Amino acid sequence: MSGSDARPFDVAESSSLRVLWVLLPLLAVLGVGIWSQLHDSRTDAPWMEVTLSPPFFLMSGSAAWSLAVIVLMGVGLGWAFFRRRVELADNVLDVRSTLYRRRTPVADLLLDQAEVVDLGRDRRYGIRFKTNGYSMPGFYSGHFRLQGGGKGFALVTDRARTLVIPVRGGSTLLLSLERPQALLEALRKVAATAPRQ
């Protein structure tokens, strides 16, 4: 396989409404910021003021910059929620998930131990807590600690059908795919044809 013929694998569908777990709190802060700006008119405002309550910082008595930052955060995090891709190219499995990316050579994958599991029932691979990730109910992206004790890199949109691939000397990959067996077969085919090191 060359870089020009990267083979994508479809990520399992996830409800688009899950993005509201990110957007609704930001919209609430935005609303409070606008309300406080409209109800607090000060003429003797300093050039810049930082507060612990919304809108958090003011410039020349205006919350416009603070509100603009909140809007940009909402757009960025909303965009990141929909950034999901799994590709196999140049003997490397490339997983892109929200703000994270993991490129793993096929030679480092322990394919004989790979399996499709239900994370809700399998205690070895259940997600325990996030170390550097992006998560909400039913959606996990990034780096996590697993209930079985190891580390994992997750792109999980369907806990009931997750392809688990242990990695030699690294974090276990947890991937929710429409056809997890198709990726596993493709990886095994690449591993069988790759030159031995």
Residues 73-88 pLDDT 10s: 888 888 888 889 999 9
Q: Quick one: which H or E segment has residue 77?
A: helix 64-81
- The CB-based long-range contact list for 51-54 (8 Å cut-off, 24+ gap) reads 54/29
Q: Quick one: which H or E segment has residue 175?
A: strand 172-175
The domain segmentation of the chain, as residue ranges, is: 16-81, 85-193
- pLDDT mean over 46-61: 62
| pLDDT score, position 106 | 94
pTM of the model: 0.76
Q: Other C-beta atoms within 10 Å of 171: how many?
A: 19
Facing residues of 102 across strands?
Answer: 95
| pLDDT score, position 2 | 44
| Residue keyed to tokens 């109910």 | 137
